[in-house]
Amino acid sequence: MADTISTIPTDVTAQTLRSLESCDDPRLREIVASLVRHLHAFVREVRLTPDEWMRGIDFLTRTGQKCDALRQEFILLSDTLGVSMTVDDVAHEGLPANVTESSALGPFYTDDAPEIAPGGTIARSGKGESVRVRGRVLDTRGAPVRGALVETWETDGEGRYDTQYAERAEPDYRGYLRTDARGSFEFVAVKPVSYSIPVDGPVGEMLLALGRGTMRPAHLHVKLSAPGYRTLATSIYSAGDPYLSCDAVFAAKASLVEPYVPAGDAAATRWTLERDFVLADA
């Protein structure tokens, strides 16, 4: 019995890593092994107590429980810890310099947005100052990308996404359309406003406990995809917004900032916004 007991491994990290040796997927083995090494090192570095570990488990459990078909609290957690944009930075290393920079997809993207006609509106309830958005989708050589899927979503003029309303009956402030032969697109939205990320869940509790800000600068989400090109999830940020330098999810980038121009008294909308996007080859 004594000999048997003496052969039980005592190095938990080494033992855990050895348990991965039979994994047939080399990439999965690489990722999990690195995760194990860093997690174990983190526990030892901060001298994590059993009580703190249980509080962490409770936090992650409640984060999952806050997720549903219209809300993704784990994406919000990833965003506020800077993980989302770090993953994004790694994924876009080595791309041509003229490719449009990406930004956070965010937790409010849904797959139920309706198709809109060119020039149509995504803001069916019209809560906010109207803006006509125009632009083109191009490849890195400047040629138009015909038939590119343009998905867009935003908050209303009060800073809330449609999914944040309990009485949401249908999608609003979101929609999709395709580019024409010139790579052009046009739609009507409302002028974005700054807003606080949700603080009614575990992520909000975390930020408030850390004394961190919860505001995001005004922005319009755009996701672009086309056969033969890398899908791009990005945003157009409003010039002059006071939260550009302190975005709660670290996603604002200088190259994505654009001004909203008054449309003039004769225009059907109050503002205009023009922005072209350049996609990288797949």
In the structure, what pLDDT confidence band is assigned to residue 2 with cuts at 50, 70 and 90?
low
Is residue 186 domain-resident? yes
Q: Do 274 and 177 fall within a single domain?
A: yes
Inter-CA distances, 147 with 29, 142, 255, 263, 281, Å:
39, 16, 25, 28, 15
Is the confidence at residue 110, as pLDDT, over 70? Answer: yes
Is residue 66 domain-resident? no
Is the confidence at residue 29, as pLDDT, over 90? Answer: yes
Q: Which amino acid is at 95?
A: L
In the structure, what pLDDT confidence band is assigned to residue 1 with cuts at 50, 70 and 90?
low
- pLDDT value at position 5? 56
Neighbours of 53 (CB within 10 A): 11
Query: CB of 17 within 8 A of CB of 34?
Result: no
Is residue 59 domain-resident? no
Q: Do 43 and 165 fall within a single domain?
A: no
| Assessment of whether the complete model's pTM goes beyond 0.75 | yes
Q: Do 44 and 150 fall within a single domain?
A: no
- pLDDT value at position 26? 97
Is residue 53 domain-resident? no
Query: CB of 123 within 8 A of CB of 160?
Result: no
Q: Do 91 and 213 fall within a single domain?
A: yes
Q: Do 40 and 80 fall within a single domain?
A: no
Is residue 57 domain-resident? no
Is residue 65 domain-resident? no
Q: Estimate to the nearest angstrom the gap between the alpha carbon of 282 and the chain centroid.
A: 21
Dihedral angle computed from the Cα positions of residues 245, 248, 249 and 254, in that order, rounded to the nearest 10 degrees: -10
Q: Do 129 and 165 fall within a single domain?
A: yes
Q: Do 15 and 154 fall within a single domain?
A: no
| pLDDT, tens digit, 9 for 90 and up, residues 141-186 | 999 999 999 999 999 999 999 999 988 889 999 999 999 999 999 9
Q: Do 116 and 231 fall within a single domain?
A: yes
- pLDDT value at position 264? 81
Is residue 6 domain-resident? yes
Is residue 162 domain-resident? yes
Selection from 275, 175, 277, 173 nearest residue 225 by Cα:
277
* CATH number of the structural domain spanning residue 250: 2.60.130.10
Tally of domains within the chain: 2
195-196 and 130-138 as β-strands: parallel, antiparallel, unpaired? unpaired
Is the confidence at residue 267, as pLDDT, over 80? Answer: no
- pLDDT value at position 169? 87
Domain limits for position 41: 2-48
